[in-house]
Amino acid sequence: MQVTAIIAAGGTGTRLGAGVPKQFLELAGRTILERSVDAFARHPRVTDLVVVLPPGSHLAASRAFGGGDRVTLVAGGARRQDSVANAFDAVPPGSDLVLIHDAARPFVSEAVISRVIDAAAESGAAIAALAVSDTVKQAVGEDDRTFVTGTIPRDMIFLAQTPQGFRRDVLAAAVTLGRQGVEATDEAALAEAAGHRVRIVEGDPDNVKITTAADLERSRLRVAPVAATRVGTGYDLHRLVEGRPLIIGGVEIAADRGALGHSDADVACHAVTDAVLGAACLGDIGRHFPDTDPQWKGASSVRLLEAAIDTVRAAGFQVTNVDVAIVLERPKIAPHLQRIRDGLAAALRVPVERVSVKGKTNEGVDAVGRGEAIAAHAVALLTLTSEG
């Protein structure tokens, strides 16, 4: 079965107020028209395309389409039905089925197109449509006021979308009526007027029509690239005990007590490790280096951080910058901040200018403030370098 798709893009889109026809506006680097044409050009059952354009725009638009002889460009008319009639004249003589789609619906799915093809082939005419979920009121205006005159059963109401599909003979009858002066807002209405039954198949809520500036903005947000950055936070706390070294960011600091832990209990490295793993949505330090595993007993936390960075980079991320706050009542770590930054930067594989380390106290409050524990807070920003 030969299927031709007509893409109706002959309008000026004046309601959008963009200064150019809306079909030539871009969504993430591709025009609305390109996206609509591509949906049908990629469909395995569509054999030919006829694209209706505003008069005079053929040359500029032709660069947007591939497909060679599969795509025919025609000039639109004064009304939609005139544009479709012009396109119908350009449909290859061997086409059995013709689809008509509004270029202003750039998100049509392959599944919707397939449903319309199947239903039109079986029934002669078919449209994609959505059943309404809200209560529908009929109303009349009187002076400045509007009053309800009745409630329409919502199971009888459908919101028409495109594509609409027709056997060639059915569309020929509809186009003939239009040329004889019958006016309609879509070809399905003309087919009805010509005595043909039009079948409804399930549409798609995502198959939206871009009509207003708000529609355009929502559509641009929909296709905007996924944010290329990720943020993660980390926190760690260890008790301070006698007989343990105090290691922060891989730097051993002279102190009468050190942090208690399965590894070397380096709170800075642990907090940063959790932050980078969290930003990449790869779990936490306990998942990758459990304290039940004897291989991590007494391990250097710098090595653990380096291993975490290997994991994060394998997932397609790299560290942009890290900010760490060390909360310790004593000793003061200000004299050691530069060495801590250097050690963290080396493990993170970033310039030291991208690593911030701050020393804080807890003003005598809680276990940290009483000098019984040390804590660290970290924030990491990652950049997505690949699809991972």
| Same domain flag for 242 and 166 | no
Q: Is there a single domain that holds both residue 191 and residue 294? A: no
Using CA atoms, how far apart are residues 152 and 131, in angstroms rounded to an integer?
13
> Nearest CA to 80 among 106, 102, 113?
102
> What gap in Å lies between CA 186 and CA 251, rounded to an integer?
74
Asked if 219 and 294 sit in the same domain, the reply is no
- Give the ranges where 7-76 is alpha helix by DSSP (H): 32-41, 58-62
Q: Please tell me whether residues 180 and 287 are part of one structural domain.
A: no
- What pTM value is reported for the model? 0.64
Query: Both 76 and 147 in a single domain?
Result: yes
What one-character DSSP code corresponds to residue 195? T
Per-residue pLDDT of the chain (388 residues; tens, 9 = 90+): 999 999 999 887 666 766 678 898 989 888 999 999 999 999 999 999 999 998 876 545 555 565 567 899 999 999 999 999 999 999 999 999 999 999 999 999 999 999 999 999 999 999 999 999 999 999 999 888 999 999 999 999 999 999 999 999 999 999 999 999 999 999 999 999 999 999 999 999 999 999 998 999 999 988 877 667 899 999 999 999 999 999 999 999 999 999 999 999 999 999 999 999 999 999 999 999 998 888 888 899 999 999 999 999 999 999 999 999 999 999 999 999 999 999 999 999 999 999 999 999 999 999 999 999 999 999 999 998 754 3
Residue 263 shares a structural domain with residue 164: no
Note whether 200 and 265 are same-domain residues.
no
User: What residues make up the domain containing 244?
Assistant: 229-384
**Amino acid symbol at 37:** V
Indicate the residue among 223, 240, 263 that finishes a domain: 223
CA neighbor of 164 nearest in space, from 134, 194, 138, 185: 185
Whether 243 and 172 share a structural domain: no
End-of-domain residue from the set 181, 206, 223: 223
Q: Answer whether 213's CB lies under 8 Å from 113's CB.
A: no
Q: Are residues 262 and 178 in the same domain?
A: no
Q: Are residues 283 and 193 in the same domain?
A: no
Domain boundary among 192, 223, 254: 223
The tally of domains found in the chain comes to 2
CA–CA separation, 168 vs 91, rounded Å?
9
